[in-house]
Structure 1
Amino acid sequence: MAEFNIHLSPPITTSTVAAPPHWPPAAPGNCDAQKCPWWPYSSSKDFKANTALILVVLFCALICGLAFNAGIRYIIRLHCSRRRQREAADEKADTGGAAAEQAAEIPSVIYSEGMKLTGADTECIICLSEFSIGEKIRVLEKCNHGFHLHCIQRWLVSHSSCPTCRTNCSTESTSSSPP
């Protein structure tokens, strides 16, 4: 087999390697900033300047972190409020269409003094005003309770039960035959 020697850089020789700097040995007990290379600061002014610089950098990092946190919280709140509005609009659209159809299916009658309503109510339990003679009201088929036309329509947009007795007023078949 043939041996391949591929060098991407020139070989390192002892003449190309830089020698580390040679520090003169310090006498024990005679080590100060000018004579000892490992002394961290050359004077007390450098220490104060470095401390001030570190404090400024930490303060700027704190301000940036707080601004980032506030921005993220703002974006999350904006997203959540938009989602809640969208869900509320979708729910209102979903229930509003079905409720409008359901309220339209309830027959309206003209109130007269001799009408027999369940519980002998002569007032709308939703708005608490009495029925007047000749006024259009709607009587729920399942429980025979009567309400003003506009009151029961608004009620059925958000509820599916009678406001008086809580009987389910949906027109869908609620009873199913057992198997």
Structure 2
Amino acid sequence: MAESLPPTQSPGFNTPCHKPQESSVDLNLIVIIAAIICAFLCALGLNSMLHCILQCTLRALTEPIGWVASRIVNAGLKKKDMVTLPISVYAGLSSPSTVSSCAICLMDFSDGDRIRILPECNHRFHLDCIDKWLLSHSSCPTCRLHLNSNNCVSCLQISTAI
């Protein structure tokens, strides 16, 4: 009798073409790692924000008088005090040693420009530039001399007397 050989199986039917379990595990691992990194960055940002808040609060509690005073001193002039500062028209006949440009916008003064001269330091600026500055700062942008209402009133009296 003839020996019969056992039937052989073709390799295509028993082995799957792709392995869906392995790819889903890789995708899940990537999502988990991304979530951990995102959570770490959020925690780091929150920690930095809380550290900043605690430092500011500690400074306000330990140095309340000095901190508040420093904020008030350079908080800007009131509009009524700013109006009392003298205004002049630039004529260009100043000496060569005099600065002929605005330190705020860095533009040279032209004949006919309206400029404001600060008291005591005599620094000159374009009217629009210095008015914007003085609304948020109460000091000269060049020398940091503090202007207060007393300086402005005495300046008004000096400019009207001349």
Q: Please report the TM-score for the alignment, with normalisation by the length of structure 1.
A: 0.40
TM-score, normalising length from structure 2?
A: 0.44
Q: Which structure shows the higher helix fraction? A: 2
